[in-house]
Structure 1
Amino acid sequence: MSSDERESYGAETFAEGNWYHELLEDGLALSYRVEEVLYEGASKFQEVEVVRTVPFGSLLITDGLMQSSEHDEYVYHESLVHPALAAHACPKRVFIGGGGEGATLREVLRHPCVEECVMVDIDGDVVNMCRQHTPFYSAGAYDDKRAKLVIGDAKAGLESEADESFDVIIMDLSDPLDGGPCYQLYTTEFYGMAKRKLAKGGILITQSGCASVRDAHHVFSPIHHTLKQVFPKVYGYTMCVPSFTSEWGFNLAVTDESTDLSGENADATLKERNLDMRFYDSISHRRMFALPKPLRTLIDAEKRVMNIENPLFMCSTETHAGIFEEGAGDA
């Protein structure tokens, strides 16, 4: 990356042992002490970095935003994938939108009943970079004969599939940022199309941004309310991901209101499929779906609907620009 590019990106070259600063909002930043830069470069769509940090191991960072960390990515990815797949009686065909690290694909393919998983990610450079520099994410999933990787637009990829052809759709996307590529995939128009692609009893799950009592109003509750305009039943749930420094939100939508999302049968289903999870089980499921009173109140009162004509952005991408600062603090 040239010095001019770094200046526009809001970063400075740094020496080993310095700090990475992620500006979360005006007046609030998160800092990690960096041990080593494993990769930095630019794809057609975004700046990409992998740095090894003291508290969280290797971090995948795109456009200054930390996407996941080596030490706790399993919390996020098991929370994203398994409530939906465990609730479905027999998920044979699964679609993933995004998920370039490969960890979502890894978790889906742990279910032996899955016969094919179609993953569509727009940035092939990120996929290839992660396979080379952070192979722990995919753990060989791309080599599984059931995996079908498509480099392209997730919306176009899903549109090209036959109606009623997927049992589960998982949207593992970046947040809907102003200037970012993903905001259209959080709209009624997209969710309506996705619903048509789901077979009888199908389930859609999407990551839904920060969901603490302080931040859930930004996108978590609007995504929930937007899904309710399309699906008969929507469940919001959260889990604390330490490297995200927040409760993280997910929204799960079902085509059949009778689908059991209590989690009571999760342990039996996992045992039947010979799955031993690090994080997800029936007790974790109940904790995830037991929203605190402020979030329940927020969801009940939410009126905003996200559509193409009136998109809702979490924030400007400039607000989240990461910076490197030489010699910031003691090692």
Structure 2
Amino acid sequence: MTSRPWFDETLYEGWGQRFRIVRELATLKSDFQDIAIFESQTHGRVLALDGVVQITERDEFVYQEMIAHVPLLAHGAAKSVLIIGAGDGAVLRRVLQHTGVRRAVMVEIDGEVIRLAREFLPSLAGDAWDDPRAEVIVGDGIDYVASAAADAFDVIIVDSTDPIGVGEVLFSDDFYAQSARVLTANGLIVNQCGVPFMQADELRQTSLRRAKSFPHVSAYVAAVPTYVGGFMTLGVAAKGQGLADADVELIRARATASSILGKTQYWTPEIHVGSFNLPPYIAAHLPG
């Protein structure tokens, strides 16, 4: 048993959550951030970066399914996918569940996150690390996008921390302009935009930045228990048609063709379409 009985999250100054620690598995400071992995009493193993919970074994499926399956099925024919961040491998695993995906490049700036996740959180990625379609790069996602060829990817998934510290540059005007350049004609990008009940500025400002480079900007929601404050928003921007145009039956057909239908714990065709129907307090922060 660890000598530290509780993990207290430090995301918000005046509000938080805590986990009872059964056993501390890893605690270190990398070149980029403080990393902690521990066994909790209620949520299995937990990964925290700079004092903020990133993923838990118990509810990881909600966020991972929604950040991966929604953009891939909204696109409908994605073959090449770029993942920035997501060093635990859980997004990579969900992307590779799509049989139409031929190439998935994951660029994570902090190699220590990958190393520790592979050692202490192996269930998150499963066998994705060894999939021949996967290319895992330890490096800067900004630099990778800036040097990538035009029209190289159908979908970009950015699974980063909030726009502070190491994750800040992934929310910039230049990053979105470069992302639009490397996406194909119907390409799209998705990234987490925080919990708008507490982080409304994050969704508002990021949406305005994306709108400078993409004709279609929207967001959808997912209810992730350990992202406290209500709905988590996932901001999305597309070069082609609007993302909310597909109906349930079209999404169901695409999911069947991709071999994921019936294999999810949160995502369904109905949830997919419904997640774009935003409560007014969230929709108010999107560009008019």
Is TM > 0.5 for Structure 1 vs Structure 2? yes
Q: Which one has a larger percent helix, Structure 1 or Structure 2?
A: 2
Structure-1 separation of matches of 2:24 and 2:247? 41
Q: 1:25 to 1:87 in 2, by over 3 A?
A: closer
Look up the match of 2:236.
252
Q: 2:60 aligns with which of 55, 66, 73?
A: 73
Look up the match of 1:239.
222
Structure 1 residues 262-289: Cα deviation after superposition (integer angstroms, max 9, x where no partner): 3522222111222122211121113311
Counterpart contact for 1:59–1:69, Cα < 8 Å: yes
Structure-1 separation of matches of 2:267 and 2:39? 26
Structure-1 separation of matches of 2:154 and 2:145? 13
Look up the match of 1:274.
259
Q: How far 1:291 moved relative to its partner?
A: 0.6
Look up the match of 1:116.
103
Q: 1:295 to 1:147 in 2, by over 3 A?
A: same
Structure-2 separation of matches of 1:165 and 1:249? 26
Residue 188 of structure 2 corresponds to residue 200 of structure 1: no
Structure-2 separation of matches of 1:298 and 1:123? 31
Q: How far 1:101 moved relative to its partner?
A: 0.4
Look up the match of 2:212.
229
Paired AA for residue 63 in structure 2:
Y
Q: How far 1:23 moved relative to its partner?
A: 2.6
Counterpart contact for 2:2–2:21, Cα < 8 Å: no
Residue 74 of structure 2 corresponds to residue 87 of structure 1: yes
Q: 1:193 to 1:74 in 2, by over 3 A?
A: same
- Provide the TM-score with structure 2 as the length reference: 0.94
Q: 1:261 to 1:151 in 2, by over 3 A?
A: farther
Structure-2 separation of matches of 1:126 and 1:297? 35
Between 1 and 2, higher relative CO (CA 8 Å, sep ≥ 6) is seen in 1
After superposition, the CA RMSD in angstroms is 1.7
Q: 2:117 aligns with which of 118, 123, 130?
A: 130
Give the share of equivalent positions with the same residue, in percent: 30
Structure-1 separation of matches of 2:278 and 2:242? 21
Q: 1:183 aligns with which of 160, 168, 177?
A: 168
Q: How far 1:261 moved relative to its partner?
A: 4.1
Q: How far 1:197 moved relative to its partner?
A: 0.1
Q: 2:154 aligns with which of 156, 159, 167?
A: 167
Counterpart contact for 1:122–1:153, Cα < 8 Å: yes
Look up the match of 2:88.
101
Three-state SS of the structure 1 residue aligned to 2:204 is helix
Look up the match of 2:3.
15
Structure 1 residues 69-100: Cα deviation after superposition (integer angstroms, max 9, x where no partner): 10011100111111110122321111011110
Residue 145 of structure 2 corresponds to residue 158 of structure 1: yes
Q: 1:296 to 1:148 in 2, by over 3 A?
A: same
Paired AA for residue 154 in structure 1:
G
Please say which of residues 185-194 and 257-266 is displaced more in the overlay. Answer: 257-266
Look up the match of 2:45.
58
Paired AA for residue 237 in structure 2:
A
Counterpart contact for 2:218–2:286, Cα < 8 Å: no
Three-state SS of the structure 1 residue aligned to 2:82 is strand
Q: How far 1:173 moved relative to its partner?
A: 0.7
Which has the higher Rg, Structure 1 or Structure 2? 1
Q: 1:198 to 1:101 in 2, by over 3 A?
A: same
Please say which of residues 140-149 and 273-282 is displaced more in the overlay. Answer: 273-282
Paired AA for residue 33 in structure 1:
R
Q: 1:296 aligns with which of 274, 283, 287?
A: 283
Structure-2 separation of matches of 1:262 and 1:215? 30
Q: 1:290 to 1:216 in 2, by over 3 A?
A: farther
Counterpart contact for 1:171–1:207, Cα < 8 Å: yes
Counterpart contact for 1:24–1:30, Cα < 8 Å: no
Paired AA for residue 186 in structure 1:
F
Please say which of residues 150-159 and 290-299 is displaced more in the overlay. Answer: 290-299
Paired AA for residue 13 in structure 2:
D
Look up the match of 1:33.
20
Structure-2 separation of matches of 1:78 and 1:261? 20
- Provide the TM-score with structure 1 as the length reference: 0.82
Structure-1 separation of matches of 2:27 and 2:282? 38
Look up the match of 1:146.
133
Counterpart contact for 1:216–1:295, Cα < 8 Å: no
